[in-house]
Amino acid sequence: MTAFYLGSAVFLLANVAIALLRVLRGPTAADRMLSGELMGTTAVALLLLLYGATGVEALLDVALVFALLAAMAVITFVRRTWPEDPAADSEKEDP
């Protein structure tokens, strides 16, 4: 079973490399943010697989921290990019 966990971890590392390419080449900020979220989710999965393979319990704590950081990053991105009141913005555009 350990070989399966380590093989899956290698696959997830390749996934992170592909997501990094999208972060660098993404045409919009939303594409870059989704790729960053993919990297965060993949990092959590990778840490959990490594925990299953090695049994080091500190990996569970680090995975939890990565999950919280990824959620905070998405919340920050949404609050900075979308307007607070879309109805107010549409009223400003009408002459």
Domain that holds residue 47: 2-84
Query: What's the alpha-carbon Rg for the chain, to the nearest Å?
Result: 18
Query: How does pLDDT run across 49-77, given as a tens digit for each residue?
Result: 889 888 999 999 999 999 999 899 889 98
Report helix, strand or coil for 94.
coil
Residue 95 falls inside a structural domain: no
Residue 90 falls inside a structural domain: no
- Higher-pLDDT residue of 5 and 86 is 5
Please give the full DSSP string across 29-60, using - where no structure is assigned.
Answer: HHHHHHHHHHHHHHHHHHHHHHHHHH--THHH
Q: Which two tokens stand for residue 22?
A: 């999208």
Residue 94 falls inside a structural domain: no
- Higher-pLDDT residue of 41 and 95 is 41
For the chain, the domain total comes to 1
Predicted pLDDT at 42 = 92
Predicted pLDDT at 61 = 94
Closest CA to 75 of 51, 26, 40, 25: 40
Rounded Cα distance between 10 and 78, Å, is 31
Query: How does pLDDT run across 11-25, given as a tens digit for each residue?
Result: 998 988 988 888 888
Residue 87 has pLDDT above 80, yes or no: no
Residue 83 has pLDDT above 90, yes or no: no
Rounded Cα distance between 90 and 53, Å, is 54
Residue 46 has pLDDT above 60, yes or no: yes
| Number of residues that make up the chain | 95
Which CATH number is 66's domain given? Answer: 1.10.287
Residue 20 falls inside a structural domain: yes
Residue 8 falls inside a structural domain: yes
